[in-house]
Structure 1
Amino acid sequence: MAQRWLTDDQQRTWRNYLVLTSRLQTAMNRQLQARCGLSLADYEVLVALAEHGPMRVLELAAELDWEQSRLSHQLSRMRTRDLLERRGSEQDGRGATVEITAAGRDALVTAAPDHVELVRSVLFDGMTQAQARGFDEVVATALRRL
């Protein structure tokens, strides 16, 4: 069977995408750390809890598309900093529920404006509306294929 390689254009696009995602994650992490002492992982957890309210740990793992072990370690670190509370589930004794605390909400409120501005300035300010719609279509198509 013949091996099918990426074309030069595809290779350039793929490499640019990898560099973009890596640099953007690094920039977001640095900004969050400097502004309010949060990691990007902290921010992602806080956003999910703020949007959905208290969640079972398994539901949160699914929402974030994280392995349960990664989430457990992340939640432990965040709990020691009073960013969230973890309680035994009221529905059954096996699961646990996670909820954002007042300190977690305050950290999110502090972090969000700069985070949004960074994403907007890097991604969207340089695009036309048609490019933004096309970018959204490309991302949505790739996500559906995964």
Structure 2
Amino acid sequence: MAQARRRTRPEPASSEAGVMRRPDGLKYLSPVRAKAFLGLVRAGDSLARELNAELELDHGISLRAFEVLLFLAVFAPEGHLRMAELTERAPLSQSRVSRLVAELETRGLLERSSAEVDGRGVKVSITPKGIEKFKAAQETHLAGLRRLLFSHLSRAEIDQLASITEKIIDACEG
């Protein structure tokens, strides 16, 4: 009986570490790898959903719109970037960045203009109203990150998480 049970128990696929194979040939991740993958996806989704809800409720701005303001307020020299640079830096598609910039421009938080150097590109700048919105929303964002993420991890775990996510991003964007 124990021998029969062993035959039906999934075995790792020989050429694929961490991949199990059912007797019928279907493959699936080992339990620990499935937990790692699904946990990473669920944690990222949950964190983004909670931060988005708080920013929407308290400031009327989405997490993605906040990220656009963040790139312009904190990481852009003089508060502006060419649209192409903003699209490169933001973890969003070009069309999503364009829609967010248009929405934020309508609300008076950003403005678009021709790039001074060659006049061909579009420059996106954060407005004084955008800076004020960012400053207010930043407190909510930072408090949410502390409460939902960083307060649950040691300094060593935060360092390890940063290293792991960097490896994943490098593999995906390589």
Q: CA deviation at 1:12?
A: 1.0
Point out which structure has higher relative CO (alpha carbons under 8 A, 6+ apart).
Answer: 1
Q: Choose which of 128, 148, 156 in structure 2 pairs with 1:102.
A: 128
Out of 112, 120, 123, the residue aligned to residue 146 of structure 2 is 120
TM-score normalised to structure 1 length:
0.92
Listed one character per residue, the Cα deviations across residues 44-93 of structure 1 (whole Å, up to 9, x for unaligned) are 00000012121000000001033222211111111110010100111122
**Cα distance between partner residues in 1 of 2:152 and 2:96:** 35
Matched, 1:67 2:93: yes
1:81 is matched with: 107
- Deviations, residues 21-40 of structure 1 (Å, cap 9, x unaligned): 11111111110011111111
Deviates most, 16-25 or 104-113 = 16-25
3-state DSSP of counterpart to 1:125: helix
Give the share of equivalent positions with the same residue, in percent: 28
Shift of 1:139: 1.1
Q: Indicate the RMSD between aligned Cα atoms, in angstroms.
A: 1.6
Rg comparison, structure with higher value:
2
Return the letter of the residue paired with 1:131.
E
Does 2:48 correspond to 1:25? yes
CA distance in 2, matches of 1:138, 1:11: 16
TM-score by length of 2: 0.78
Structure 2 portions without partners, runs of 5+: 1-12, 20-27
Instruction: Give the equivalent residue in structure 2 for 1:132.
Output: 158
Letter of the 2:38 counterpart: R
Secondary structure class of the residue paired with 2:29: coil
Residue 99 of structure 2 aligns to a residue whose secondary structure is helix
